[in-house]
Chain A
Amino acid sequence: MSDILVNIDGIECKAKEGEFVLNIARANDIFIPALCYLSNCSPTLACRLCLVEVDGKRAYSCNAKAKDGMNVITKNEEIETERRAIMEIYDVNHPLECGVCDQSGECELQNYTMEMGVNSQSHCIADMPRPATDWGKIHYDPSLCIVCERCVTVCKDMIGESALKTVKRGGPDLDKEWKEKTPKDAYAMWNKLQKSIIGVASGADTLDCTMCGECSSVCPVGALVSSDFQYKSNAWELKKIPAANPHSSDCSLIYYDVRHDSISNSNDKIFRVSNDYSFSPIHGGTRYGYDFENVVDSKDEEAFEKVVEAMKTKVDTIEFDSFITNEEALILQNLKDKHGYNLVNNDAYMYKKFLENFSSTSGTNLYSGDLKTVQASNFVISVGTAIKTDSPNSGYAFNNALSMNKGAGLYFHPVIDPIVDGYSKNLLSVNHKVGAEEAVLYLILDLFGKNLPVETADYIKAFHTTCKQTVGEGEDAKEIEVDENSLFEMIGVTDFSEKLPKLLAKKDTFSLIAGEDLYNHPKSKNLAKLLGLIEKYTDFSVLIIPSQTNTLGVSLICDLSKNRGEFTLGYNVKADVTLSALGKGDLDMPALNQQEGTFTSMNKRVVPTNAALSFNGYCLNDIANELGFDAELTIDYTEELPSTKGFKRVAFDDLSNEFTRAGEENRGYLISSKILTCKDAVDEISESKDMSNPIYLANPVQQFSAFTNRAHQLCQAGSLYASSEFLEKRELKSGDMVIIEGSDSVKLTLRVELDLMINGDIPYLPTFDTKLHAKQFFPDGYRFAEVSIKGVK
């Protein structure tokens, strides 16, 4: 795509050929009103407000593609009459309940009604009863709905679930006499508006999706709001605190909307989480899992002294997870350097090892992909991640690539996921055998590799056999040579070779998403090396999803070891002495919404997050100060993040946290990657043991850790989650109790729950409910384990 010049209202704007005029105008700070258009989604043309004049002809700027030398006028008398009439019609029968409406103050209908100067009404049509409904966490009030279809669009093009659609309204038809009285576009808009309303696509009573809540975020009016937030506060009372998603490694930009709790309690409280929906969607865990703060009345000096005393005398190991900031990771590393503690973090350790092995063949210390490259590509492969629950934002980018770039994709995972299957017709789900990831990566090398190293090429060649096949019938029968690839068989797919050429037609940008299954895999070393070869010898840019929020940051900053010593201090991990933000330890720590600091996201970006709520206790920095360091605030360490690992010497207060109008991510800074020397040697595919009754370690939608489970909207008890197929086969019902018995005779009795969002025969155990100790069934960390499951009567 070449650079061109477009003239909008006399201003020369640089643009790319084929870009939408509306986006060019927005990027150049020129205002064109629009209600229904969403960046990164397809134009719906529902509102027609973005009407402009392109070279003397009327066009809709949201779907008018830019050409060189184009002349655009955004405003003239004719356009303004249309726009005013459109806004007037949107106001027909719109309830005058702004006083109580939750959207009031940030309502686009209010804003544009004011903007267009609508102070009288000349249109009318009889209304019909439109009762409000509760769709679980989302409340839908059709009488407030202006059917801009943003919710439908975002659900289809961004989230990938198509859980909403427009359904028949069933009201009176628009009288023909309005056709003469109303401007053309306004009439067309009205005609469409009057026919439809939003409904659940499956026809069910309530929404049956992953409940990301993005539809309620994009809603310009108060039709879709969070049921929990309803009538609790007003837009103007809430202070927006920019932060980063604390629950998963996408670290998307979010805002904590904070206000005093109530009349009797003037402490701050988070009322909701909002996001910049034009540029960064967020998942349900972030949207509803915001109140995981650790409330402490005062500093517990006694407990603090005990911890410091233990650190000075007994402690030889610090164990922690990766739900911490970069600064805290640096404090821990400093403590290690000064006092020689062992740092244990299994999650980051495995990831670090994986990245090291990856760079040994790829030649760079970091992977090249990020969510933006995934979004921009037209062929995406996902391997080794239950993408819907592990990293929903990667799933959104995947789906966005499929729907916006006419893309195609492959999804390799043993657990059948109907939600991912529903992304697109051009997505082929391959539900391979457990442990076949090596074969999958070899297959990718086989299909896409260019100038592969000789040894690898030879090894791959050995999988191919040519056999003769007869095609056609009778006299036309011909014998041709067919290439048979035994890798297909190893993975366990049959019709792959027929479908693949169709999927690959006209594809030129490739992305590969690799996930958590691979890091803890028995063959993780070889998998990492194979991924490195894919990065080096194919067109794929690889994205390796960090498993927890700051796994990448911790693995870069800390020198980790694998084993605990004799006396362990746990930070958010149960140990001999426990510091906990979950409120169960020996000393209370601030949760991530009470801390300022930075995360290293999966986009290899250091992003700042601010404290939404205050914390009255001690933090890790206080302990470090007692142990010979001197920093007033934790964020004093932001500047000192190791530049040898790619961090920059930038102070916390100098880090920005926003998207520009053009949608560029102006948040923090990118970590620079280094070129390393590399080898091409990889191992051959090793035999993997077939599992007859595998179980998977994953969380249900919206849950990510014990922190999400603290939030009042997500709090639940963990169960064994299984598909209806699994339950039917074993004659179990949702809610029955089962005993799981793993190797080393570990046992667990728990409820089994039907999860409609998976299929197939592999159930999963969650980690968010710490009471279950799910990890005991997965001693090596590998996410699949062989267990026996029996029903209890």
Chain B
Amino acid sequence: MSLEQFTKRDVSPEYIFYEGETKPKTGWEFFKRGFSRAIKGELFVGLWIVLREMFAKGNTHTVSYPQEKIAMAPRYRAIHKLLRLQESGSERCIGCGLCEKICISNCIRIDTKIDKNSRKEISQYTINFGRCIFCGYCAEVCPELAIVHSGDYENASEQRAHYGLREDMLTPLDEFKAKKQQEFPGFGAISDDADSFVKKTPLAY
């Protein structure tokens, strides 16, 4: 049995080992290597590719920001959003305070109170974006999928402490009515196989 897989501890067995080309030892061998390198046309292969791509159409990766913007991947974690309930349009946030608790940079603060209908109402929700590290824990812990990350990555600001208030983060009603509110598929969203974990509870009705 070959002991190679045991001796080469730093790599996994599927790797192909390349030892490199053998080094020239004699003067003749040095001359041979120098000659073959000099007359190979590799230099021109490279030059040709550059020339070709320079004149090719429609294959540039550069976008002309800010006129043009890249659509972020769905799991990208940028500035937060507060979502509304799909049916009623009222806020999803119930003011449980879990995001405030889990936030590792301590940048979320909420104020809650009892409203006219004796329900818990969230009177203000703030995130200090100057401190936020966009770890996504708040979105993950939220039991209502209310606080999520959006794709809005433009958070340059005149000052270090840049606060996001509820009014800034909550989906505007017109946008909501136009059905532009999107679900967040990142951390905290319901997984595709969530149904399989549900245990049924008997009902007496």
Give the contact stretch, choosing among B42-50, B63-71, B90-98. B90-98
Q: How far is the CB of B57 from chain A (nearest CB, A)?
A: 54
Chain B residues contacting A123 (CB-CB under 8 Å) are 202
Whether the pair A237, B114 counts as a contact (CB closer than 8 A) is: no
Q: A263 interface residue, CB < 8 Å from B?
A: yes
Q: How far is the CB of A4 from chain B (nearest CB, A)?
A: 46
Report the Cα distance A287→B23, complex, angstroms.
Answer: 87
Chain B residues contacting A120 (CB-CB under 8 Å) are 199, 201
Report the Cα distance A233→B98, complex, angstroms.
Answer: 12
A39-52: CB near B (< 8 Å → 1, else 0) gives: 00000000000000
A207-230: CB near B (< 8 Å → 1, else 0) gives: 000000000000000000000001
Q: How far is the CB of A120 from chain B (nearest CB, A)?
A: 4
Whether the pair A237, B101 counts as a contact (CB closer than 8 A) is: yes
Whether the pair B144, A99 counts as a contact (CB closer than 8 A) is: yes
Residue among B94, B121, B204 making CB contact with A124, cutoff 8 Å: B204
Whether the pair A124, B203 counts as a contact (CB closer than 8 A) is: yes
- Interface band, chain B: 20 to 34
Chain A residues contacting B177 (CB-CB under 8 Å) are none
Given contacts A120-B201, A125-B204, A236-B101, contact A263 B124 (CB under 8 A): yes
Report the Cα distance A125→B201, complex, angstroms.
Answer: 11
Whether the pair A126, B205 counts as a contact (CB closer than 8 A) is: yes
Q: A689 interface residue, CB < 8 Å from B?
A: no
Given contacts A234-B97, A262-B111, contact A99 B143 (CB under 8 A): yes
Chain A residues contacting B111 (CB-CB under 8 Å) are 262-263
Whether the pair A231, B101 counts as a contact (CB closer than 8 A) is: no
Q: A100 interface residue, CB < 8 Å from B?
A: yes
B109-142: CB near A (< 8 Å → 1, else 0) gives: 1111110001111001010000000000000000
Whether the pair A121, B118 counts as a contact (CB closer than 8 A) is: no
Chain B residues contacting A616 (CB-CB under 8 Å) are none
Whether the pair A100, B100 counts as a contact (CB closer than 8 A) is: no
Q: A122 interface residue, CB < 8 Å from B?
A: yes
Whether the pair B202, A100 counts as a contact (CB closer than 8 A) is: no
Residue among B114, B126, B202, B204 making CB contact with A230, cutoff 8 Å: B114
Whether the pair A119, B144 counts as a contact (CB closer than 8 A) is: no
Whether the pair A232, B201 counts as a contact (CB closer than 8 A) is: no
Report the Cα distance A124→B110, complex, angstroms.
Answer: 37
Chain A residues contacting B100 (CB-CB under 8 Å) are 237
Residues of B142-179 at the interface with A, using a CB-CB cut-off of 8 Å, are 143-144
Report the Cα distance A440→B96, complex, angstroms.
Answer: 58
Chain B residues contacting A124 (CB-CB under 8 Å) are 201-204
Chain B residues contacting A125 (CB-CB under 8 Å) are 204
Residue among B96, B124, B201 making CB contact with A121, cutoff 8 Å: B201
Whether the pair A232, B113 counts as a contact (CB closer than 8 A) is: yes
Given contacts A232-B112, A232-B113, A263-B126, contact A100 B95 (CB under 8 A): yes
Report the Cα distance A131→B204, complex, angstroms.
Answer: 20
Chain B residues contacting A232 (CB-CB under 8 Å) are 112-114
Report the Cα distance A260→B101, complex, angstroms.
Answer: 14
B177-205: CB near A (< 8 Å → 1, else 0) gives: 00000000000000000000001011111
Q: A196 interface residue, CB < 8 Å from B?
A: no
- Interface band, chain A: 20 to 34
Report the Cα distance A744→B31, complex, angstroms.
Answer: 130
Whether the pair A231, B120 counts as a contact (CB closer than 8 A) is: yes
Chain B residues contacting A98 (CB-CB under 8 Å) are 96
Report the Cα distance A231→B109, complex, angstroms.
Answer: 15
Q: A104 interface residue, CB < 8 Å from B?
A: yes
Residue among A119, A236, A263 making CB contact with B199, cutoff 8 Å: A119
Whether the pair B95, A231 counts as a contact (CB closer than 8 A) is: yes
Chain B residues contacting A237 (CB-CB under 8 Å) are 97, 100-101
B5-33: CB near A (< 8 Å → 1, else 0) gives: 00000000000000000000000000000
Q: How far is the CB of A91 from chain B (nearest CB, A)?
A: 9
Q: A132 interface residue, CB < 8 Å from B?
A: yes
Report the Cα distance A122→B199, complex, angstroms.
Answer: 10
Report the Cα distance A123→B200, complex, angstroms.
Answer: 11
Chain A residues contacting B109 (CB-CB under 8 Å) are 260, 263
| Chain B, residue nearest A234 (CB) | B97
Whether the pair B124, A99 counts as a contact (CB closer than 8 A) is: no
Which of B101, B110, B201: most chain A Cβ within 10 A? B201
Chain B residues contacting A260 (CB-CB under 8 Å) are 109
Chain A residues contacting B98 (CB-CB under 8 Å) are 99
Chain A residues contacting B114 (CB-CB under 8 Å) are 230-232
Report the Cα distance A233→B101, complex, angstroms.
Answer: 12
Chain A residues contacting B112 (CB-CB under 8 Å) are 231-233
Chain A residues contacting B124 (CB-CB under 8 Å) are 262-263
Which of A119, A120, A234, A236: most chain B Cβ within 10 A? A234
Whether the pair B202, A121 counts as a contact (CB closer than 8 A) is: yes
Q: How far is the CB of A217 from chain B (nearest CB, A)?
A: 20
Report the Cα distance A122→B205, complex, angstroms.
Answer: 15
Whether the pair B96, A99 counts as a contact (CB closer than 8 A) is: yes
Which of B111, B119, B121, B144: most chain A Cβ within 10 A? B111
| Chain B, residue nearest A227 (CB) | B114
Chain A residues contacting B204 (CB-CB under 8 Å) are 124-126
Report the Cα distance A122→B120, complex, angstroms.
Answer: 31
Chain A residues contacting B97 (CB-CB under 8 Å) are 233-234, 236-237
A69-105: CB near B (< 8 Å → 1, else 0) gives: 0000000000000000000000000000011100010
Report the Cα distance A379→B118, complex, angstroms.
Answer: 47
Chain B residues contacting A119 (CB-CB under 8 Å) are 199
Chain B residues contacting A262 (CB-CB under 8 Å) are 111, 124
Whether the pair B96, A100 counts as a contact (CB closer than 8 A) is: yes
Report the Cα distance A528→B95, complex, angstroms.
Answer: 58
Q: How far is the CB of B140 from chain A (nearest CB, A)?
A: 15
Q: How far is the CB of B80 from chain A (nearest CB, A)?
A: 16
Q: How far is the CB of B21 from chain A (nearest CB, A)?
A: 62
Whether the pair A104, B96 counts as a contact (CB closer than 8 A) is: yes
Report the Cα distance A126→B203, complex, angstroms.
Answer: 8
Residues of A243-259 at the interface with B, using a CB-CB cut-off of 8 Å, are none
Q: How far is the CB of A203 from chain B (nearest CB, A)?
A: 24
Chain A residues contacting B94 (CB-CB under 8 Å) are 99-100
Residues of B33-82 at the interface with A, using a CB-CB cut-off of 8 Å, are none
Chain A residues contacting B121 (CB-CB under 8 Å) are 231
| Chain A, residue nearest B205 (CB) | A126
Report the Cα distance A121→B201, complex, angstroms.
Answer: 5
| Chain B, residue nearest A266 (CB) | B109
Report the Cα distance A231→B111, complex, angstroms.
Answer: 10
Report the Cα distance A124→B113, complex, angstroms.
Answer: 33
Whether the pair A231, B202 counts as a contact (CB closer than 8 A) is: no
Report the Cα distance A660→B177, complex, angstroms.
Answer: 59
Residues of A446-494 at the interface with B, using a CB-CB cut-off of 8 Å, are none
Report the Cα distance A123→B120, complex, angstroms.
Answer: 30
Report the Cα distance A619→B186, complex, angstroms.
Answer: 54
Report the Cα distance A517→B33, complex, angstroms.
Answer: 115
Chain A residues contacting B101 (CB-CB under 8 Å) are 234, 236-237
Chain A residues contacting B202 (CB-CB under 8 Å) are 121-124
Chain B residues contacting A99 (CB-CB under 8 Å) are 94-96, 98, 143-144
Which of B97, B111, B143, B202: most chain A Cβ within 10 A? B97
Report the Cα distance A233→B204, complex, angstroms.
Answer: 35
Q: How far is the CB of B102 from chain A (nearest CB, A)?
A: 10
Report the Cα distance A120→B199, complex, angstroms.
Answer: 6
Residues of A110-130 at the interface with B, using a CB-CB cut-off of 8 Å, are 119-126
A–B complex contacts, Cβ < 8 Å, 18 sampled? A99-B95, A99-B144, A100-B94, A100-B96, A104-B96, A120-B201, A121-B199, A123-B202, A124-B203, A126-B204, A231-B113, A231-B119, A231-B121, A234-B101, A236-B97, A260-B109, A262-B111, A263-B126
Additional 18 contacts, C-beta under 8 A, given A99-B94, A120-B199: A98-B96, A99-B96, A100-B95, A100-B120, A119-B199, A121-B201, A121-B202, A124-B201, A124-B204, A125-B204, A231-B113, A231-B114, A231-B120, A232-B112, A232-B114, A236-B97, A237-B97, A263-B126
Closest 3 CB pairs of A and B: A99-B96, A100-B120, A231-B120
